[in-house]
A = this chain, B = another copy of it.
Amino acid sequence: MSRQPRKHLVILEPAGRRVEVEEGVNLLAAAQQAGVDLVAACGGVGICGLCRLRLVSGKLSALTASEEEHLPPQDILDGFRLACQAHPLSDVTVEIPPESLPRAQKMLLEGREAQVTPEPVVCGVEVCLPPPSQEDLRADFTRVREALAAGEHPLEVNLDTTAVRLIAEPLRRQEWAGRLALRTSHNGAHLVSVLRAGAPLVGLAVDLGSTKIAVYLVNLENGGTLASAGVMNPQIAYGEDVVSRIAFANQGAENLRLLQTRVVEALNTTIADLRRQTGISQEQIVDAVVVGNTAMHHFLCGLPVRQLGLAPYVPAVADPLEVRAAELGLEIARGAWVYLPANIAGYVGADHTAALLASQAYTGDKTMILVDIGTNTEISLAKRGRLLTCSTASGPAFEGAHIHDGMRAASGAVESVHIGNDGVQVSTVGGSPAVGICGTGILKAISEMLDKGIVDRRGALRKRGAYTTWFNENAEFVLVPAEKSGHGRQVVVTRRDVHEIQLAKAAIRAGIEILLAEAGIAALRVEQWVVAGAFGTFLDIGSAVRVGMFPDVPRGYFHQVGNAAGMGAKQMLLSRRKRTEAARLAKRVRYIELTAYADFTEKFMEMMYFPAYNEP
Interface on A for B, CB 8 Å cutoff? 132-134, 137-142, 145, 159-161, 164-165, 167-169, 172, 187, 301-304, 306-307, 311-323, 327, 343, 345-346, 591, 593, 596
Q: How many whole Å from A161's CB to the nearest CB in chain B? A: 5
Q: Is the CB of A139 within 8 A of B591?
A: no
Q: How many whole Å from A508's CB to the nearest CB in chain B? A: 22
CA distance A140 to B593 in the complex (A): 17
What are 17 of the A-B contact pairs (CB < 8 Å)? A132-B314, A134-B593, A137-B591, A139-B316, A139-B319, A140-B314, A140-B317, A142-B319, A161-B323, A161-B327, A165-B302, A165-B303, A165-B304, A167-B304, A168-B303, A168-B304, A168-B307
The answer, among B172, B187, B306, B318, for a CB contact under 8 Å with A141, is: B318
Q: Is the CB of B141 within 8 A of A319?
A: yes
The answer, among B159, B312, B322, for a CB contact under 8 Å with A134, is: B312
CA distance A319 to B160 in the complex (A): 10
Q: Is the CB of B139 within 8 A of A306?
A: no
CA distance A579 to B306 in the complex (A): 40
CA distance A145 to B320 in the complex (A): 14
Q: Is the CB of A139 within 8 A of B343?
A: yes
Q: How many whole Å from A15's CB to the nearest CB in chain B? A: 35
For A169, give the chain B residue with the smallest CB separation. B304
Q: How many whole Å from A107's CB to the nearest CB in chain B? A: 30
Cβ contacts under 8 Å, A323 to chain B? 160-161
Q: How many whole Å from A295's CB to the nearest CB in chain B? A: 13
Q: Is the CB of B137 within 8 A of A316?
A: no
Cβ contacts under 8 Å, A319 to chain B? 139, 141-142, 145, 159
Cβ contacts under 8 Å, A312 to chain B? 132-134, 137
Q: How many whole Å from A245's CB to the nearest CB in chain B? A: 17
Q: How many whole Å from A514's CB to the nearest CB in chain B? A: 15
CA distance A165 to B133 in the complex (A): 46
Cβ contacts under 8 Å, A138 to chain B? 314, 318
Cβ contacts under 8 Å, A304 to chain B? 140, 164-165, 167-169
Q: Is the CB of B303 within 8 A of A161?
A: yes
Q: Is the CB of B318 within 8 A of A142?
A: yes
Extra inter-chain contacts (9) besides given A137-B591, A168-B306, CB under 8 Å: A134-B311, A137-B346, A140-B304, A141-B316, A159-B319, A160-B323, A161-B301, A168-B303, A187-B187
Answer whether A161 and B314 are a contact pair too, CB < 8 Å, given A137-B591, A139-B319: no
CA distance A140 to B314 in the complex (A): 7
Q: Is the CB of A137 within 8 A of B302?
A: no
Answer whether A593 and B343 are a contact pair too, CB < 8 Å, given A165-B302, A303-B164: no
Q: How many whole Å from A315's CB to the nearest CB in chain B? A: 4
Which are the 3 A-B pairs with shortest beta-carbon distances?
A: A168-B304, A139-B318, A141-B317
Answer whether A307 and B140 are a contact pair too, CB < 8 Å, given A132-B312, A167-B316, A321-B161: yes
CA distance A319 to B161 in the complex (A): 11
Cβ contacts under 8 Å, A593 to chain B? 134, 137
Cβ contacts under 8 Å, A164 to chain B? 301, 303-304, 316-317, 321
For A303, give the chain B residue with the smallest CB separation. B164
Cβ contacts under 8 Å, A345 to chain B? 137
The answer, among B139, B316, B322, for a CB contact under 8 Å with A317, is: B139
Cβ contacts under 8 Å, A167 to chain B? 304, 316
Q: How many whole Å from A414's CB to the nearest CB in chain B? A: 41
CA distance A165 to B132 in the complex (A): 42
Cβ contacts under 8 Å, A314 to chain B? 132, 137-140
Q: How many whole Å from A415's CB to the nearest CB in chain B? A: 39
Q: How many whole Å from A321's CB to the nearest CB in chain B? A: 6
For A320, give the chain B residue with the smallest CB separation. B159
Q: How many whole Å from A503's CB to the nearest CB in chain B? A: 24
